[in-house]
Amino acid sequence: MPAVSKGDGMRGLAVFISDIRNCKSKEAEIKRINKELANIRSKFKGDKALDGYSKKKYVCKLLFIFLLGHDIDFGHMEAVNLLSSNKYTEKQIGYLFISVLVNSNSELIRLINNAIKNDLSSRNPTFMCLALHCIANVGSREMAEAFAGEIPRILVAGDTMDSVKQSAALCLLRLYKTSPDLVLMGEWTSRVVHLLNDQHMGVVTAAISLITCLSQKNPDEFKTCVSLAVSRLSRDYTYYFVPAPWLSCKLLRLLQCYPPPEDGAVKGRLVECLETILNKAQEPPKSKKVQHSNAKNAILFEAISLIIHYDSEPNLLVRACNQLGQFLQHRETNLRYLALESMCTLASSEFSHEAVKTHIETVINALKTERDVSVRQRAADLLYAMCDRSNAKQIVAEMLSYLETADYSIREEMVLKVAILAEKYAVDYSWYVDTILNLIRIAGDYVSEEVWYRVIQIVINRDDVQGYAAKTVFEALQAPACHENMVKVGGYILGEFGNLIAGDPRSSPLVQFNLLHSKFHLCSVPTRALLLSAYIKFINLFPETKSTIQEVLRSDSQIRNSDVELQQRAVEYLKLSSIASTDVLATVLEEMPPFPERESSILAKLKKKKGPGAVSVNELEEGKREGGELNGGGERGADNSNMAASNASTPSPSADLLGLRAGPPVNAAAPSAGSLLVDVFSEAGANDDGFLRDLEPPTESSDSLLAEGPGDSDSAPPSVVSEDPAAPLPESNELLNKFVCKNNGVLFENQLLQIGIKSEYRQNLGRMYLFYGNKTSVQFLTFTTTVTCPGELQSHILFMCTFKKLNVQAKPVEPLIEGGAQVQQVINIECLGDFCDAPLLNIKFRYGGALQNFSLKLPVTINKFFQPTEMASNDFFQRWKQLSQPQQEAQKIFKASHGMDTEVIKAKLLGLGMALLENVDPNPENFVCAGVIQTKAQQVGSLLRLEPNSQAQMYRLTVRSSKDTVSQRLCELLAEQF
């Protein structure tokens, strides 16, 4: 940059600023400014031509006045004239004035653009940088239209100076963010990518920012940047003993735009770099200065984000979790916050979830002792994320304990999370009822309607918990200070099921009524209305209370109540109880029918509280393998999974956790006409496109457990209609193998579409959720999906395809997907026999007028239907010998393609769905598993033995099954996982 001469100090400007600062009042300041504006206006309008210095000085004064908050309505032309000056300081002030004061609709924009074009073509690097800075600062669409084609040429030109390249890259980034449709790289793409090899650090850093933004919208065009980014990592300067921290962070962030590299050498180099970063994090600090730790930790957290994004290196995921665990007790608050935030994401990976759970005590301690509320909130989020059936009671108890002293800003969200966890992981529903009532007692003011609606819905739908709920709520109402939400729950439950505890003299009908009525005068109008409905229910349940209740209804405080709703109820209920016969009364006041299962309204509220927009696939990953125990791991529902009461109950041998067998309850669509207690859940499922909308359970038929849904018998849903489906993508087998040992994740992604998947299995039944996300800003039109079953699979799996023996109930996929939106499709599966081929999913839609048509293999493999089987050592080897025929055994010896970490191997074997048997094999290094594949036709017992050889980096895998095709298929599937 040219040196500023002594004469450029602009003494008149300094004097003016000093005068403004010395003003004693606002009026004095305005007076001085008006005087100066009049002077400047006269100078600009005077006959005498001003020199460049004077113009610059007066334009600077106008800029200063504008920054003080005063309107400037002249001087713009003089600023534009400064752009034509050959002096740096004058041109700089002109550009500064234009960047701050000139808007895109100004009449001067054409003159400004001409001046900028002249400077860009001048080849004077200083003037070019000023022009580029002005374009970036204004960033208007008009600027983009004028210069979007010119700036890429400047960026990649061989004779452009490094400082200009850096400015050009950042200017192009700004224009792309404001007008992406006008910034088209086209022929410049490869040359822009190769800027990653530039020797100038400023150019590389700016280019990475540009490429990262471009890659997010057009990943395929810039995918060559992956290998260059990996090769550039950690090869430059060091900053406080840390190699190029800013550059490394940007490179790692760029790599998060892409899946793991396909090239083995590139992937190996990247894994080596990530391992180096994790290793260096374990080393003692080389400097005590804060710059060293900040730079080191910045790279570490970005590397962990990349490891989480890939979710394909179990060893790195576990190491990342262990490293973050060390930060949980760090003295630096920011590090503790970041560690908790990153571990929330790690908890969603099946490879690292168990490692995250080992830090539960530290996280609970952080929840109780952290001084910063934001850190406490992240600790609560992590507890929520790491919760599963094994630790649910402990976590819920700790969150309830913390609720008593929690900050008001997070109480409502904590209440929702406790309610969700209690329902999702309820081993028995008496614990669930106790938890929710305790929740109301501790934080009643923050318990939304959705929470107590949900507990009533579950109690009504489950006969086994109704008596306990009535007894518990009766005891809770005896407290002297009772929250109104408790009264609501008590009124509803006792009105429906008070007869179940009426046999105890301590909870006789009259005692129940007097207890409820003692709270009546303390409640709001809606609660009083509910209690009146409970009273009329009492008359039906307990005729001996009729006279007492009629006396209450007949009192002036009821039939002459100022509130019209209460008055009407009192009059109508009194008349009904007086003139109706016992049979009529019993019919009108019959027990509420079970509610149809819908998406949990609590989940919907939590999603709404977290922010608008569709649930991303990262949030989908928070599902944490809800079919885990059903498929061999611990049973854990997805954070965003179906919260139906039936799914959270203790599975019995005949339990149907997926809701595929149960028929819809009689009259479940709505309460009976005579029911006076309103359907408080009628709003819970109002959003028909909810992310977690559960299917209404189909009825059971004699041919299949999957019945046609209402209205589907005449025609198949649109989602199963297809013509000329495309052949499966070349990478379909690779995508399929990714899901052999896991049930959730991103199935497919390109620049237009992202397909996420969540699935759960129980015995020979399965349910799969597909999430189609539009990554563009343009609508997808005529979006249709078709599932087909190739060859022998047709008779073995009942699927969403129109073949014999098939009955299906599914929600059709929406034909139109808005830009940035996401739609869900549910698929039910029933396995009839063993199979090898996977079903095909064909997807068709129109994007920008062009037809998109491709097919994928759905990750439905035979191991998904495993039932884990525990065996003693003697039983295992006895069964092993029984399966000794050559055709019953499949064996494969292969080289390890991943690290031979014991914990990772265990996690994958559990993910396969079999039971991992401890202390069975004489060699403690070996792994043995047992399981039974459940099909409708037969059960196929399978045994597995995996013998790792760490020195040779080899495995020997042996599978024995009662059916030869199963042994062969399991061996093929599992060999690809190690």
How distant is the alpha carbon of residue 131 from its chain centre? Answer: 42
- Residue indicated by tokens 């039936």: 646
What gap in Å lies between CA 126 and CA 139, rounded to an integer?
Answer: 20
Is 176 marked as a binding-site residue? no
| Core vs surface per residue 817-832: b (16+ CB within 10 A) or e | beeebbbbbbbbbbbb
Is 57 marked as a binding-site residue? yes
- Residues 6 or more apart whose CB falls under 8 angstroms from that of 871 comprise 879, 915, 917, 920, 930
Residue pair 489/519 in contact (Cβ under 8 Å)? The answer is no
Is 53 marked as a binding-site residue? yes
Q: Which amino acid is at 846?
A: R
Q: How many CA atoms lie within 13 A of 957 on its CB side?
A: 23
- Residue indicated by tokens 């790491």: 386
Residue pair 144/179 in contact (Cβ under 8 Å)? The answer is yes
N-term to C-term CA, the chain: 58
Kindly report the number of other CB atoms within 10 A of residue 505's CB atom.
7
What gap in Å lies between CA 361 and CA 356, rounded to an integer?
Answer: 11
| Core vs surface per residue 695-732: b (16+ CB within 10 A) or e | bbbbbeeeebbbbbbeebeeebbbbbebeebeebeeeb
Give the containing element (helix H, strand E) for 640.
Answer: none
What gap in Å lies between CA 321 and CA 180, rounded to an integer?
Answer: 38
How distant is the alpha carbon of residue 719 from its chain centre? Answer: 25
Q: In the chain, how many H helices and how many E strands?
A: 40, 16
Is 43 marked as a binding-site residue? yes
From the list 634, 821, 840, the residue with the least C-alpha distance to 720 is 840
> Could you tell me how many residues make up the chain?
978
- Residues 6 or more apart whose CB falls under 8 angstroms from that of 702 comprise none
Q: How many CA atoms lie within 13 A of 109 on its CB side?
A: 17
Which stretches of 632-671 are DSSP H helices? 645-648
What gap in Å lies between CA 869 and CA 17, rounded to an integer?
Answer: 84
CA angle, 431 then 432 then 437, to 5°: 100
In this structure, the strands spanning 939-949 and 927-934 are antiparallel
Report DSSP letters for 20-75, one per residue.
HHT-SSHHHHHHHHHHHHHHHHHHHHSSSPPPHHHHHHHHHHHHHHHHTT----S-
Is 134 marked as a binding-site residue? no
CA dihedral sign of residues 82, 83, 85, 87: positive
How distant is the alpha carbon of residue 356 from its chain centre? Answer: 18
What gap in Å lies between CA 679 and CA 338, rounded to an integer?
Answer: 44
3-state helix, strand, coil in the chain (%, to 5): 50, 10, 35
Q: Bridge partners of 746? A: 756
Task: Please give the sequence-ordered ranges of beta strands (E in DSSP) within 452-536, or none if there are none.
Answer: none
From the list 767, 837, 833, 762, the residue with the least C-alpha distance to 795 is 833
Is 286 marked as a binding-site residue? no
- Residue indicated by tokens 């209920």: 573
Report DSSP letters for 295-324, one per residue.
HHHHHHHHHHHHHHHH---HHHHHHHHHHH
Residue pair 457/681 in contact (Cβ under 8 Å)? The answer is yes
CA dihedral sign of residues 491, 492, 493, 498: positive
In this structure, the strands spanning 780-788 and 822-831 are unpaired
What gap in Å lies between CA 395 and CA 382, rounded to an integer?
Answer: 10
Residue pair 705/660 in contact (Cβ under 8 Å)? The answer is yes
Binding residues: 11-12, 43, 53, 57-61
